[in-house]
């Protein structure tokens, strides 16, 4: 059914120089991306950073001010949505309330005049893939939020698209269901081998599900990387701060602690806390960074305890996290305690280009 022909070795989606202006607002400011076949690729960023606009241009709902979009090696920049081999799942599901689940799932096939028997068969398969085969006769109103979400997925999958575009599809679910659906969705994507382009502003969600993530800020991409690299090797201060919690060291603190100027990031769980020990700096290895300060706040997080330490240096704050199993002395460092901190030099990542 697809108008687009798949070219051998071409990426599922190739975006070049993509821009979108709405009047005086530049929503997308020069985006380049290659997304591989079968990849689970997420666009992550704060509200208004341009993720949805990129997705809508790939779907064909918006036309770019400049730039090109290829699907499977074919330029589709000027093609209307229905002729692109993609399907979109929206946050609000957009189900028809007066139709049964099966009718909702079949709808796209009916529009394409697929014969009834074939329609039924494919709808049933799609409902099975999202574990809803028993629910075909219900109306959307008789389903839970998570089940409705799966109907929306089945409705997209029934077209057997090569690429599925998902715009915050789990946004309406409560946290527990959302975490469950993340695992299910990832499994489904892997089993079906479909390319997913997924929009979210939830960094934990992106880290959990994605093969790779593009971090958006102000209509531009700050970094494209695997979840691990994004977390361990953030390329910019924005990425360090947006993906997980980060301590950014710059100015006086960077020079004093690390012996060089620049902007650096160190993750809270890499930092060890010691009750004030005057000999700590004597025993420190050349690879360790040490700092002294006073505990300002201790926050119990359930699986971990987070402490905020006021460094003696230039009023910098450091956040650190100790998990409950660690028999660290830090467990007894309450508010106002004098402490020493240490971490390995290699855990300090430069987040700005070297001068």
Distance from the first to the final alpha carbon of the chain: 54
Q: Which of 4, 49, 203, 342 binds ligand ATP (CB under 6 A)?
A: 49
48 touches ligand ATP by CB under 6 A = yes
Between β-strands 288-300 and 338-344, what pairing exists: parallel, antiparallel or unpaired?
antiparallel
- Using CB under 6 A, which of the segments 47-55, 66-74, 129-137, 267-275 binds ligand ATP? 47-55
Which run of H or of E encompasses 220? strand 220-225
Is residue 305 within 8 A of residue 271, CB to CB? The reply is no
27 touches ligand ATP by CB under 6 A = yes
25 touches ligand ATP by CB under 6 A = yes
Compute the least distance from the CB of residue 17 to ligand ATP, in Å. 17
Compute the least distance from the CB of residue 223 to ligand ATP, in Å. 16
146 touches ligand ATP by CB under 6 A = no
45 touches ligand ATP by CB under 6 A = yes
At a CB cut-off of 8 Å and minimum separation 6, what does 87 contact? 108, 156, 157, 159, 161, 163, 164, 165
Closer residue to ligand ATP, CB minimum distance, 242 or 343 = 242
Q: What angle do CA 144, 177, 59 make, to 5 degrees?
A: 80
- Using CB under 6 A, which of the segments 50-58, 107-115, 248-256, 269-277 binds ligand ATP? 50-58
Radius of gyration of the chain (CA): 25
Kindly identify the residues of this chain, within the stretch 173-202, that bind ligand ATP according to CB under 6 A: 201
Between β-strands 195-200 and 163-167, what pairing exists: parallel, antiparallel or unpaired?
parallel
Compute the least distance from the CB of residue 163 to ligand ATP, in Å. 18
169 touches ligand ATP by CB under 6 A = no
Total Cβ atoms within 10 A of residue 283: 10
Compute the least distance from the CB of residue 215 to ligand ATP, in Å. 11
Closer residue to ligand ATP, CB minimum distance, 28 or 157 = 28
At a CB cut-off of 8 Å and minimum separation 6, what does 29 contact? 19, 50, 218, 219, 220
> Which parts of this chain interact with ligand ATP (CB under 6 A)?
22, 25, 27, 45, 47-53, 201
């Amino acid at each position: 059914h697809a108008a687009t022909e798949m070219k051998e070795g071409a990426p599922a989606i190739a975006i070049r120089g993509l821009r979108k202006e709405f009047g005086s607002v530049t929503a997308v400011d020069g985006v380049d991306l290659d997304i591989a076949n079968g990849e689970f690729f997420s666009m992550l960023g704060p509200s208004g950073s341009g993720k949805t606009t990129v997705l809508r241009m790939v779907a064909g709902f918006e036309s770019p001010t400049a730039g090109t979009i290829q699907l499977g090696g074919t330029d589709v920049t000027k093609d209307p949505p229905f002729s692109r081999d993609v399907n979109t799942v929206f946050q609000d599901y957009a189900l028809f309330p007066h139709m049964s689940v099966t009718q909702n799932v079949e709808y796209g096939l009916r529009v394409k005049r697929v014969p009834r028997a074939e329609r039924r068969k494919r709808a049933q398969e799609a409902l099975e893939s999202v574990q809803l085969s028993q629910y075909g006769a219900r109306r959307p109103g008789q389903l839970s939020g998570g089940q409705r979400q799966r109907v929306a997925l089945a409705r997209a999958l029934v077209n057997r698209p090569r690429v599925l575009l998902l715009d915050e599809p789990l946004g309406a679910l409560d946290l527990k269901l959302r975490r469950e659906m993340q695992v299910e969705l990832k499994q489904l994507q892997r089993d079906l081998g479909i390319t997913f382009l997924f929009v979210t502003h939830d960094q934990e969600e992106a880290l959990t599900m994605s093969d790779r993530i593009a971090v958006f800020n102000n209509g531009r991409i700050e970094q494209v990387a695997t979840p691990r690299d994004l977390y361990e090797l953030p390329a910019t201060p924005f990425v360090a701060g947006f993906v997980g919690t980060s301590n950014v060291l710059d100015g006086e603190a960077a020079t004093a602690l690390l012996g060089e100027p620049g902007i650096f990031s160190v993750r809270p769980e890499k930092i060890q806390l010691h009750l004030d020990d005057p000999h700590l700096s004597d025993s420190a290895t050349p690879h360790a960074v040490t700092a002294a300060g006073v505990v300002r706040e201790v926050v119990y997080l359930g699986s971990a305890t987070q402490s905020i330490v006021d460094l003696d240096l230039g009023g910098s704050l450091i956040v650190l996290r100790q998990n409950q199993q660690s028999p660290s002395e830090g467990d007894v460092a309450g508010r106002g305690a004098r402490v020493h901190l240490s971490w390995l030099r290699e855990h300090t990542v430069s987040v700005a280009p070297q001068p």
